[in-house]
Chains A and B, each alone.
Chain A
Amino acid sequence: MAYKVKLDIFEGPLDLLVYLIERAEMNIYDIQVAVITDQYLEYLDEMCYQDLAPAADFMVMAATLIDIKSRMLLPRRATDDPEALTEDPRSELVDKILEYKKYKQAAELLEQQAETAGLVFTKAQEELADFEQEQEYLLRLKIDPLMMAFKAFLDRQRRRAEVQRRYSKMEDYRMTVRSRIHQLKNMLTGRRRVRFIELFVSRPDRYQVVLTFLSVLEMIRRKGIKVRQDVNFGEMTLTPTKALAGMQFDAESEFFNDEAG
């Protein structure tokens, strides 16, 4: 059975049910509950298998389906009373499904409507401040709210300045993987063994460590170096291979985005 590629695209248990019933080309007023229930449960299994953790409502629907299925297996109660109505155990569910379908379609209509509306542009209100005569408004302020507002403003400015200071510092250090690899290549060619820690000039920040590590991984992958680690979390020793000197690291690889991430 072919599953929809992404199982989390169902908007809920009713959405899934509608899909299953239509796919099976079943008559909505004569749903084969056993078949649908099996298919539904299979989908739930697949969701769990793919670590999608179906919402509790999916489970409630599963229980409902199983309940209906079992009630369908029971013989309809035979009574002598000609007035007695035996209710089809599926009727409530069918009503729910049709109701849901109604609004699912309505949602599509709204989406189309919104798309059409999106093709229409309007303009913003003109800047009317010059024309407004509410200057007295300012004089009616009390001193406290004004002080608080000003203090909040100063705080915001201070925080913003701090963030900007740190931000501009980060910009300077953003080396790319590609350049780091070139650096390492120069550092390692011709040497016998280098410890990972020796790859850094000064105490590195997290970005530099990650960057270097990714570069090392890429070089290992390309067989430019070999790395050895004897103990968990222990020292890593890098040994350049003979091929390293002649290697070009300009080829496209998934590591060659502009940042180390």
Chain B
Amino acid sequence: MMKRAEIKAALETLLFVWGEPLAAGDAGQVFDLSETETRELFLELKKEYDEAGRGIRIREIAGAFQYCTDPRNAEYVSRLCQPVKEQRLSQGALEVLAIIAYRQPVTRVEIESIRGIRCDRTIESLSRKQLIAEVGRGSGIGRPILYGTTRTFLEYLGLRDLSELPPLAETEDLLEPYAESYAEVGEAENLKNHFDNPSQE
């Protein structure tokens, strides 16, 4: 029976060799441990690294664990070498990606309806980058393709899972820029009510 410390050390070796995100279940099979037990060990390790303030950390990403660097040292990396900068996504691509991320599964028509402009090329491009994928078919006419985000999407954003997506703005927040045009606070609510429930005038 391996000691806890020995297993954790072995997990460190596995993380290093694997490089890519390693699922707790897969790692656990090496030691005949359950996914839950292995996950616990990984989380303990993660905590130890965080508390020690080391330059190498363990992150939970896309439901798996991975060695990664402390982003605060990124500046030193650039001084040492020229890391390849991934090409940033265009504004339009980000909008499509946001719609898919927050509303998945969603069809192309729904995406275009929100953006007000055609999106097929953007969707194709995001697909090629493996940030989105077909996740099923809608039940409506023509059985339209449904899109959702991928594991690569989570890795691209450094997220553990979709619940870590930053929350969407509420309508009240969106009205912020218009605040000055209201004579008094509260008029926004009145106007909104008036709008939602129009009556004869």
The judgment on whether A and B are partners is yes
- A residues with a Cβ closer than 8 A to B are 9, 11-15, 22, 25-30, 55, 57, 61, 76, 78-79, 82, 84-88, 91, 94, 96, 98-111, 113-114, 116-126, 128
Are A113 and B182 neighbours in the complex by a CB distance under 8 Å? no
Contact residue among A91, A103, A120 (Cβ-Cβ distance under 8 Å from B114)? A103
Q: A26-B181, A100-B115 are in contact. List 5 more A-B contacts (CB 8 A).
A: A57-B116, A107-B94, A107-B97, A122-B20, A124-B20
Contact with A along B147-189 (1 / 0, CB 8 A): 0000000001111000000101101001101101110000010
Q: Is B83 an interface residue (CB 8 A)?
A: yes
Q: Is B19 an interface residue (CB 8 A)?
A: yes
Interface 9-residue window, one of B29-37, B40-48, B135-143, B190-198: B190-198
Are A55 and B117 neighbours in the complex by a CB distance under 8 Å? yes
Are A113 and B71 neighbours in the complex by a CB distance under 8 Å? no
In the complex, which residue of chain B has the Cβ closest to the Cβ of A11?
A: B92
Are B156 and A76 neighbours in the complex by a CB distance under 8 Å? no
A118 CA to B158 CA, complexed, in Å: 8
In the complex, which residue of chain A has the Cβ closest to the Cβ of B93?
A: A107
Question: Interface extent on B, as a size class?
Answer: 35 or more
Known: A117-B158, A124-B19. A27 touches B191 (CB 8 A): yes
B104 to chain A, nearest CB (A): 13
Known: A107-B91, A125-B18. A88 touches B198 (CB 8 A): yes
B79 to chain A, nearest CB (A): 14
A110 CA to B94 CA, complexed, in Å: 7
A61 CA to B101 CA, complexed, in Å: 26
B86 to chain A, nearest CB (A): 7
Q: Is B2 an interface residue (CB 8 A)?
A: no
What residues of A have a CB within 8 angstroms of the CB of B198 in the complex? Answer: 85-88, 91
Contact residue among A12, A85, A102 (Cβ-Cβ distance under 8 Å from B168)? A102
The prevalent SS among residues of A at the interface is helix
A231 CA to B97 CA, complexed, in Å: 58
From B18, B94, B194, name the one whose CB has the most chain A CB atoms within 10 angstroms: B94
What residues of B have a CB within 8 angstroms of the CB of A114 in the complex? Answer: 88-89, 156-157
What residues of B have a CB within 8 angstroms of the CB of A120 in the complex? Answer: 59, 68-71, 74, 158
Are B74 and A11 neighbours in the complex by a CB distance under 8 Å? no
Are A125 and B20 neighbours in the complex by a CB distance under 8 Å? yes
A128 CA to B94 CA, complexed, in Å: 36
Are A27 and B101 neighbours in the complex by a CB distance under 8 Å? no
Are A27 and B69 neighbours in the complex by a CB distance under 8 Å? no
Q: Is B38 an interface residue (CB 8 A)?
A: no
A193 to chain B, nearest CB (A): 54
Known: A27-B182, A103-B98. A86 touches B116 (CB 8 A): no
From B18, B91, B188, name the one whose CB has the most chain A CB atoms within 10 angstroms: B91
Q: Is B1 an interface residue (CB 8 A)?
A: no
What residues of B have a CB within 8 angstroms of the CB of A108 in the complex? Answer: 94
Are B168 and A106 neighbours in the complex by a CB distance under 8 Å? yes
In the complex, which residue of chain B has the Cβ closest to the Cβ of A125?
A: B19
What residues of B have a CB within 8 angstroms of the CB of A123 in the complex? Answer: 16, 19, 67
Contact residue among A105, A110, A117 (Cβ-Cβ distance under 8 Å from B169)? A105
Q: Is B82 an interface residue (CB 8 A)?
A: no
Q: Is B66 an interface residue (CB 8 A)?
A: yes
A107 CA to B89 CA, complexed, in Å: 10
B100 to chain A, nearest CB (A): 10
Are B68 and A113 neighbours in the complex by a CB distance under 8 Å? no
Are A126 and B17 neighbours in the complex by a CB distance under 8 Å? yes
Are B195 and A98 neighbours in the complex by a CB distance under 8 Å? no
B101 to chain A, nearest CB (A): 7
* 6 closest residue pairs by CB, A with B: A12-B117, A117-B158, A119-B71, A107-B94, A106-B98, A119-B74
Contact residue among B72, B89, B192 (Cβ-Cβ distance under 8 Å from A29)? B192
